[in-house]
């Protein structure tokens, strides 16, 4: 049994994601269809033959390390946001990032496989992965077995994306220019992320506040009214500005 007490895994790839900070990442994949990432395979796994046959699958299981919360360790019980942050459940009844083995599992959409000299990558969408996430495995998603129609949602029914999101003229033209330069649909991404209401539970009934979020390399400001979220300003991230989540009364 001794040789079964510890396992060492090497990352086979790294995620370059639209989510450059934790705030705003949806709770699960598939909720924000415009969320994209590149999964770059790392040597010695960046061999085309490792991916032979994968291109005929539409979706993949990606196993990864919750690297950003590693230093915080694990907890035997957690308070899931879906229970209002008040009731505790066991870590193994949750999808918490604070696990004894900090391994995450997400079904993502495979858009394409790309290769530029030594750089072999999978282009993904519908992701819930932070930029820089180390990936430890990739497997094809098999709907005949993995999609269980009668499965119950337990205490985590599908979240409602029910916030109306509006944009200022400055933001609309920023998004247009950004898409022309980078090919990224920042307008749709922002709209889908905010419609999920990424605010912490204790702020979800408040209005009249201004909030900040970073997607890709862009700082985004929006304020809340009882009915809508209005995105009033976008600017490229620069090193001097603070890109972390902030909130203040408007």
Judge whether 85 and 201 are in contact, CB under 8 Å: yes
- How many C-beta atoms surround the C-beta of residue 19 within 10 A? 27
Nearest CB to ligand SAM, comparing residues 101 and 181? 101
Does residue number 108 form part of the binding site for ligand SAM (CB under 6 A)? no
47-56 long-range Cβ contacts below 8 angstroms, 24+ apart: 47/120, 48/115, 48/120, 51/113, 51/120, 51/122, 54/110, 54/113, 54/122, 54/138, 54/140, 55/110, 55/112, 55/113
Does residue number 28 form part of the binding site for ligand SAM (CB under 6 A)? yes
From 42-50, 53-61, 104-112, 188-196, span contacting ligand SAM (CB under 6 A): 104-112
Judge whether 212 and 203 are in contact, CB under 8 Å: no
Does residue number 194 form part of the binding site for ligand SAM (CB under 6 A)? no
Smallest distance from the beta carbon of 68 to ligand SAM, in angstroms?
A: 3
Does residue number 16 form part of the binding site for ligand SAM (CB under 6 A)? no
Of 11, 30, 57, 67, the one binding ligand SAM (CB under 6 A) is 67
Return the residues of window 110-149 that contact ligand SAM according to CB under 6 A: 128-130, 133
Smallest distance from the beta carbon of 162 to ligand SAM, in angstroms?
A: 18
Count of positions on this chain that bind ligand SAM (CB under 6 A): 18
């Amino acid at each position: 049994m001794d040789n079964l007490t510890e396992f060492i895994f090497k990352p086979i790839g790294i995620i370059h994601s639209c989510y450059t900070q934790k705030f705003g990442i949806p709770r699960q994949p598939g909720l924000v269809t415009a969320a994209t990432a590149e999964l770059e395979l790392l040597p010695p796994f960046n061999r085309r033959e490792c991916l032979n046959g994968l291109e005929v699958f539409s979706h993949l299981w990606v196993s990864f390390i919750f690297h950003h919360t590693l230093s915080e360790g694990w907890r035997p019980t957690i308070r899931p946001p879906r229970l209002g942050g008040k009731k505790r459940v066991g870590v193994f009844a949750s999808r918490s990032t604070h696990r004894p083995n900090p391994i995450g599992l997400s079904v993502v959409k495979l858009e394409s496989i790309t290769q530029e000299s030594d750089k072999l990558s999978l282009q993904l969408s519908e992701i819930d992965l932070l930029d820089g996430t180390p990936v430890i495995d990739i497997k094809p998603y098999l709907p005949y077995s993995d999609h269980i129609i009668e499965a119950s949602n337990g205490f985590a029914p599908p979240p409602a994306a029910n916030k109306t999101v509006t944009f200022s003229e400055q933001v609309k033209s920023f998004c247009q220019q950004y898409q022309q330069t980078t090919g990224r649909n920042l307008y749709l991404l922002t709209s889908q992320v905010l419609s999920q209401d990424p605010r912490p539970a204790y702020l979800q009934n408040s209005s009249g506040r201004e909030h900040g979020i970073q997607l890709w390399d862009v700082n985004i400001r929006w304020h809340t009214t009882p009915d809508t979220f209005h995105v009033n300003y976008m600017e490229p991230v620069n090193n001097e500005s603070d890109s972390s989540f902030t909130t203040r009364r408007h």
